[in-house]
Structure 1
Amino acid sequence: MRRGQGLALLLFGWLGLAGGARADSCSATLSDISFTSVSPVPGSDYFANGSGVVTCTWSLLSPTPPFLLLFPNVVVCVNAGLGANSTGSNPRALGNGALRLNYNLYRDNSYAAASIWGSPALAGTPTPITVTGSAPLLTGGTIMRNFTVYGKIAAAALTGVATVSDSNTVYSSSFTGAASISYAFYNLVQPACTTGSSATYTFQLQATVVNNCLISTGNLAFGNRSLLSSAIRTTASLSVQCTNNNAYRIALNGGTVSGNVAARRMRKTATGETIAYEISAVLDGAIWGDGLSGTSMVSGTGTGSAQPITVYGRVPAQTTPSPGDYSDTVTATIVF
């Protein structure tokens, strides 16, 4: 049950009136939160959770000034700042050197702005999670309550996020000194949790950003021709989208007719006749293949955005076979 902006653990019991040393205290732990295999391409939301525990302990003879703790209740606020690598305002950021990846933490899986997990010191950001519980009567004791923190990397935050040295790259943030609880024990009237005591806890976040590429291409269409007495040229557009800073190479195979990258051919299915043709990355340039038989590949470095590449097709002058439709299928493979 959510109540206000704090984590409230309501502990009901009866304590004797004899004095004694204070032993009431609370602590918290939270598991590390890890986003795995985060691909900036094509860009989708990524989610990860952290599991936390609040533990409060009190003594039967523990007085809570200015009077004894007759009805032992406690209000706890579990707080978190921005963490390391953030710039001082939401959203939070994970880092790798000078590189940054924005994310945020939430109290529930609505991932709404009103649910961002924060602290009273973090302007405009609510304080988190509220739970309730009861303690045994007539004794001191310990109560433990679980809570969950929800992490999200929005697709929009992945635009342009880079890897380093063509390898999977870990972005991280430490919440050492940036996470705390504040708590107050009380009898009947709940005080603000900030009026009591405090304690710190630590946890880590990380996201592993991976290299990824998407490739798509259109068809090379040479159109209708009567004679092949002179060269025929055409173009198509190929599109590559790779993780920023990710080097890639694009290979074209020899097609289904000849299978030879240096001597591609189109076939008329009805007669088996063929026509020679060439593919290059520049007009009348070197044959674009797989790097074998004197052919070359196209290489580049990803930017995170789609990069257009022009494909040049050429049918050289040759003996004209019988009329009909001639075709071949070439597979483009991107290596990254």
Structure 2
Amino acid sequence: MLRTIGLMLFLLLPSLSFAQSCSFSTSNMNFSAVDTLSGNQVNSTATISVNCTGTPLQRILLCPNLAAGSGGASSATARQMLNGGNSLNYQLYADSARSVIWGSYSWAYAARSPAYALTLSALGAASGTITVYGAVLGSQPAAATGTYLSSFSGTHAPFRYRYTTNSNCNAASGTSATTSFSVNASVAANCLVSVQNIDFGTRGVLNANVDSTGSVTATCTPGTTYTISLNGGATNSAPTARKMSRGSETVTYGLYKDVDRSQPWGDATTPGSTVPGTGKGADQVLTVYGRVPPQDTPNPGTYTDTVVVTLTY
């Protein structure tokens, strides 16, 4: 009789633990054209892509620290992009509402990196993406035209990761990783214009000069050249022969660049009568000098005219 003897082999295997390894890549954050004269902030985003391997089913804490960047920071709330000696304030955030500043354990201010985690699969791998939210702050009229940049790499982006069940990103703990990206924006030439009306008041007989003033306020990005012209009013008249009207009756008046009322202020149809300027990033108030010369007095009433102010840059 042939008998088969079966042998059972029992093995005790130690649990295996593999060192975690994570790689990161980050897209650039591009704000494109920014209007620095408006009070509106401009938003953009960047994406951090992460791939990790290690012990199956283990949790890896990710701390993508972002410090000041090569442009530095002027305060806890304002990182900076630079264009030579000019700066443009912006900030990076961990949330879409742009209320939680994204910082670093090496950041000079209180904000720290947000904590993210990946749980490795049964095969010991995991990947994901993280969004960085950015905003260029509004109302920065002093920013000159040009391209602004801040770069993140090395000490400006000390990404860290480690096996842990906690979510503490307040220190330089774990394995260091590298990534690099840039934040950029362009400031284009821009101008705003506003006016103050001219009121010659109430007069009787028009037998002497009646003078009054108004103003044109130009606000342009620094270094932006501009020209301001005043058209001929409703009757498209010459600069010193404009007409205020009441029905078919008129009152002649003129607009001038100087207090002596010797330099007419007009438009391109009157050569040399426009006013040039260069933006300084602040309001530039230009006085408009008005004069009603002696003339035949029309019937009583309110006489008006509308002059179109054109700022060309």
* Within-5 A mapping of 1:225-244: 225-244=203-222
Structure 2 counterparts to residues 150-299 of structure 1, below 5 A: 150-155=133-138, 158-163=140-145, 169-177=146-154, 178-185=156-163, 194-261=172-239, 263-269=241-247, 272-283=248-259, 284-299=261-276
For structure 1, the residue ranges without an aligned partner over 5 or more in a row are: 1-15, 59-68, 164-168
The within-5 A match list for 1:43-192 is 43-58=39-54, 69=55, 71-86=57-72, 90=76, 91-112=78-99, 115-137=100-122, 139-140=123-124, 142-155=125-138, 158-163=140-145, 169-177=146-154, 178-185=156-163
**8 Å contact kept, 1:174–1:204:** yes
Shift of 1:47: 2.0
* 1:25-40 to 2 correspondences below 5 Å: 25-40=21-36
1:199: Cα distance to partner? Answer: 1.4
1:46 maps to a residue whose letter is: V
> Contact conserved, 1:211 with 1:246, CA < 8 A, in 2?
yes
Tell me which amino acid in the other structure corresponds to 1:203: F
Q: Which amino acid aligns with 1:199?
A: A
Q: 2:40 matched to 1:41?
A: no
Q: Is the 8 A contact 2:90 2:137 kept in 1?
A: yes
Q: CA deviation at 1:41?
A: 1.3
Q: Following the alignment from structure 1 to structure 2, what is the Cα–Cα distance between the partners of residues 189 and 56?
A: 18
CA separation of 1:223 and 1:30: change in aligned 2, threshold 3 A: same
Q: 1:243 to 1:318 in 2, by over 3 A?
A: same
Provide the C-alpha distance between the structure 1 equivalents of 2:167 and 2:245, rounded to a whole number of angstroms: 84
Question: Residue 128 of structure 2 aligns to a residue in which SS?
Answer: strand
Mean Cα deviation higher: 285-294 or 94-103: 285-294
Aligned identity (percent) is 34
State which structure, 1 or 2, has the greater radius of gyration over its C-alpha atoms: 2
Question: CA offsets per residue over residues 118-158 of structure 1, 9 Å max, x none?
Answer: 22122334332333444432x23x211221111122235x1
Please state how far the C-alpha of 1:92 moved relative to its aligned partner.
1.8
Residues 190, 265 of structure 1: alpha-carbon distance in 2 compared, 3 angstrom cutoff: closer
With over 3 angstroms needed to count, the CA separation of the structure-2 counterparts of 1:335 and 1:246, relative to structure 1, is: same
Q: How many residues align?
A: 297
> 1:301 maps to what in 2?
278
CA offsets 1:146-178 (integer angstroms, 9 cap, x no match)? 21111122235x142222xxxxx1111111322
Determine the C-alpha separation between the residues in 1 that align with 2:285 and 2:70: 38
Aligned CA-pair RMSD: 2.7
Contact 2:40 2:138 in 1 (8 A): yes
Measure, in 2, the Cα distance between the counterparts of 1:228 and 1:123: 70
Cα distance 1:129–1:55, how it changes in 2: closer, same or farther (>3 A)?
farther
* Gaps in structure 2 of 5+ consecutive residues: 1-12
Spell out, residue by residue over 1:292-313, the C-alpha distance to the aligned partner (whole angstroms, 9 max, x if none).
3245112222222222221111
Change (3 A) 1:314 1:79: same
Amino acid corresponding to residue 332 of structure 1 in structure 2: V
Contact 2:70 2:152 in 1 (8 A): yes
What CA distance in whole angstroms lies between the structure 2 residues aligned with 1:17 and 1:132? 27
